């Protein structure tokens, strides 16, 4: 696979995740964090980096759990 494309994916994942912190609505922040984590998981898979995959699977799970917990509380 083209390494430039993989690097580009990593930069997009970084931008999405950092951009999530500028959102004021918690549900949108979590949704963007989940998207960023999925991008990072894809990136980690492509570069065969299990720490990147596991860390972002945890981030995705925590964000999803928070969204589900908040939606069930309503």
Q: How confident is the model at residue 27 (pLDDT cuts 50, 70, 90)?
A: confident
pLDDT at 21 over 80: yes
Higher pLDDT, 73 or 9: 9
Q: How confident is the model at residue 1 (pLDDT cuts 50, 70, 90)?
A: low
**Every domain of the chain and the residues it spans:** 3-73
Q: How confident is the model at residue 71 (pLDDT cuts 50, 70, 90)?
A: confident
HEC string of the chain? CCHHHHHHHHHHHHHHHHHHCCCCCHHHHHHHHHHHHHHHHHHHHHHCCHHHHHHHHHHHHHHHHHHHHHHHHC
Report yes or no on whether pTM surpasses 0.75.
yes
Question: What are the phi and psi torsion angles at 24 (to 5°)?
Answer: -95, -25
pLDDT of residue 36: 97
């Amino acid at each position: 696979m083209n390494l430039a494309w993989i690097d580009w994916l990593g930069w997009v994942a970084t931008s999405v995740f950092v951009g999530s912190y500028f959102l004021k609505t918690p549900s949108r922040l979590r949704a963007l964090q989940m998207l960023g984590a999925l991008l990072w998981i894809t990136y980690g898979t492509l570069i065969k980096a299990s720490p990147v995959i596991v860390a972002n699977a945890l981030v995705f799970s925590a964000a999803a759990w928070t969204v589900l917990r908040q939606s069930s509380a309503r």
